[in-house]
Chain A
Amino acid sequence: MTKAGLIETVAKRVDGLTKKQVEIIVNVIFDSIKNALAEGDKVEIRDFGNFRLRSRKQRLARNPKTGALVNVPPKRVPHFKVGRELRLMVNRQGN
């Protein structure tokens, strides 16, 4: 499923909002999560999961094409840890 499908599913579930309004809100939600992490914050959605940053050390890597050594600076990468309820949901019998 893609974002468009998700928006449609959400729009069916809530009363009194157009698909366009749901689209705006869904975008605000994902942007807020992204911005929080970009500022070094973490996002905790109970029963769903947590978004945090993980740190990657500086390392030396190779350009696969030329074989030249390149320095990869330290960086932070977004990480999602699945919450208990979602973890159990995907493993429920019959799926």
Chain B
Amino acid sequence: MTKADLVTVIYERVGLSKKEATEIVEALFECIKNTLAEGESLKISGFGTFHVRKKGIRKGRNPKSGAEIQITPRKVVTFKPSMQFRTVAEKADS
């Protein structure tokens, strides 16, 4: 499933035009990204929580040359699915 499929679902189920549906799908993901870019977590009940986690400086290794390098501190986005999401996904076929 891609963004285009989400647009189709909204078009079919909510009755917006494809143009309007595209606009709102884009707006939703832009708003989520902006929220996370501010360092703020986002909790969607029944779906899950997006967290922004701070990672400290650590040592790593270039896997090719074996040279030791510093990995700079950074922020990462993690997603924790809600119990309800985990429950519906747990028996999905491979």
Contact = CB atoms under 8 A, between A and B. Distances in A.
A89 B27 CA distance: 16
A17 B32 CA distance: 19
Contacts of A68: none
B89 A29 contact: no
Interface string B27-55: 11111110111111111111110101000
A95 interface: yes
B89 A28 contact: no
Interface size range of chain B in the complex: 35 or more
Given A1-B41, A89-B36, A78 B6 contact: no
A28 B10 contact: yes
Interface of B: 1-3, 5-6, 9-10, 13-14, 16, 20-21, 23-25, 27-33, 35-48, 50, 52, 74-79, 81, 85-86, 88-94
Interface of A: 1-3, 6, 9-10, 13-14, 16-17, 21-22, 24-26, 28-30, 32-49, 53, 55, 75-80, 82, 85-87, 89-92, 95
